[in-house]
Structure 1
Amino acid sequence: MRDAELTRQKILTVSADEIHKNGFTATSLSCILARCDISKGALYHHFTNKLELGYAVFEEVYAPAFIALWQPPVEAEDPIAGLCDFFSAMSKNMSCDEIVCGCPLNNLCQEMSAIDEGFRIRILAMQQQLNLLIATNLARVSHQLQPGLDFSQVAYFIVATFHGSSSLSKSSLNKELFDKVIKELCRYIRQLKR
């Protein structure tokens, strides 16, 4: 990998971390420059402005990582068990610090969707991609599930509940609340089976 590409990747990685910790608006380019140990010119060689950098972080770091995180449980032979195991492991293993920082995508959605159309469109596209992934895999095992389910709506409900639990826990600084909501979500998911 060329030095320029390594620099670009470092900028994206550091920016993703800063945006996750501080939010997009409060993220300081000066802090990113200092952590990357690069000049302003090096940053602007790759990204013309902070917004372009934010879009790149979303498209190249957050969205692929988020989809990759959900794929194994959803594409498991039994996506119901896969999702419940995924959520249970997350509940068990997530630290209080991770709860305080929240989900990077959920954070960006709440912060930027109403004020920047570019972020809103990107977030919506990723949400639709995740919804399709879940709905398609539920349809794959439809013979094992309750009749009459709208898999797209079920998928949106699962994701909305997950994001809601993350938001509630972040605002209350209460991991126990996250754990309880996730436990209830798993109960709902298991009840989808015949």
Structure 2
Amino acid sequence: MAMIPSAKPGEDKNPLETRRLLLEAAAREIHMHGFQAASLSRILSETGVTKGALYYHFPSKLDLGYAVVDEYFGPTLHHAWIDPLQQPDTDPVQALIEVIRKTGNRMTIAELSLGCPVNNLALEMSPVDAGFRERLEQLLDEWRAAIAAALERGRDFGSVSPAVDVNSVAAFIVASLEGCVGMAKNAQSRKLLVACGKGLIDYLQSLRSRG
């Protein structure tokens, strides 16, 4: 197989911007088509980046996929779901409820039809590639750990019942959120998403301390 040339000097005048454009386009492509069906040609067409510049930043399609998880999907999940729980004086139950409501209200039917990109990749790639599996598990573990830590603080402050097993509950919450989106994606139904979200919110309310 012929070697794909690296970017020529001066071809990639703004490397950081080029990398950002490629990651964003690749994230959209992977979210829409999955990793295995993702097309580098479509990514190059969307960004206007040359093939040489692409391979300068990402030596292979697999490297690009890993970077999308590490540098795009990961930070996006942190911003939306983990950062709101890390304020020390935040009521964790209310913070989770607000994030669920905000995310559900913001999600369009087009976004819903694509599902959660992290869960999509986990289902597609974890059985076939250790690199994806390890990255996605680390990301999901960080999400579970953030919820567990927030609930632990809530127990210490007295807003969360002392009977709550924070690690089990955190795993259940993440699984429930992914399940809600997955079912609504399959049904193409915002109504189902809202109903599932309401059930999860009712469950979260049951975690509050009654003292």
TM-score range, shorter chain: over 0.9
Aligned to 1:121: 134
> Could you list the runs of 5+ residues in structure 2 that have no partner in the other structure?
1-12
* CA RMSD of superposed structures (Å): 1.3
Moved over 4 A (4+): none
The match for 1:154 among 169, 173, 177 is 169
Residues in 2 aligned to 1:22 and 1:99: alpha-carbon distance in whole angstroms: 14
The match for 1:30 among 32, 41, 50 is 41
Shift of 1:90: 2.0
Aligned to 2:207: 192
Report if the CA contact (8 A) 2:29-2:43 is conserved: yes
Whichever residue aligns with residue 44 of structure 1, its letter is Y
Aligned to 2:152: 139
Residues in 2 aligned to 1:107 and 1:161: alpha-carbon distance in whole angstroms: 15
- Percentage identity across aligned positions? 37
Residues in 1 aligned to 2:142 and 2:159: alpha-carbon distance in whole angstroms: 24
Larger RCO, structure (CA 8 Å, separation 6 or more): 1
1:141 match: secondary structure? helix
Residues in 1 aligned to 2:147 and 2:123: alpha-carbon distance in whole angstroms: 22
Shift of 1:16: 0.7
Q: Which has the larger radius of gyration?
A: 2
Report if the CA contact (8 A) 2:91-2:159 is conserved: no
The match for 2:122 among 94, 109, 115 is 109
Shift of 1:186: 0.3
Aligned to 1:180: 195
Aligned to 1:12: 23
How many residues were matched structurally? 193
Structure number having the greater helix percentage: 1
Q: TM-score, normalised by structure 2?
A: 0.87
The match for 1:3 among 10, 14, 18 is 14
Residues in 2 aligned to 1:93 and 1:61: alpha-carbon distance in whole angstroms: 19
Whichever residue aligns with residue 130 of structure 2, its letter is E
> Could you list the runs of 5+ residues in structure 1 that have no partner in the other structure?
none
Residues in 1 aligned to 2:25 and 2:168: alpha-carbon distance in whole angstroms: 36
Residues in 2 aligned to 1:112 and 1:54: alpha-carbon distance in whole angstroms: 10
Shift of 1:72: 4.3
Residues in 2 aligned to 1:138 and 1:90: alpha-carbon distance in whole angstroms: 20
Mapping of residues 92-107 of structure 1, within 5 Å: 92-107=105-120
1:42 match: secondary structure? helix
Shift of 1:64: 1.1
Shift of 1:75: 3.0
Residues in 1 aligned to 2:135 and 2:47: alpha-carbon distance in whole angstroms: 26
Aligned to 1:74: 85
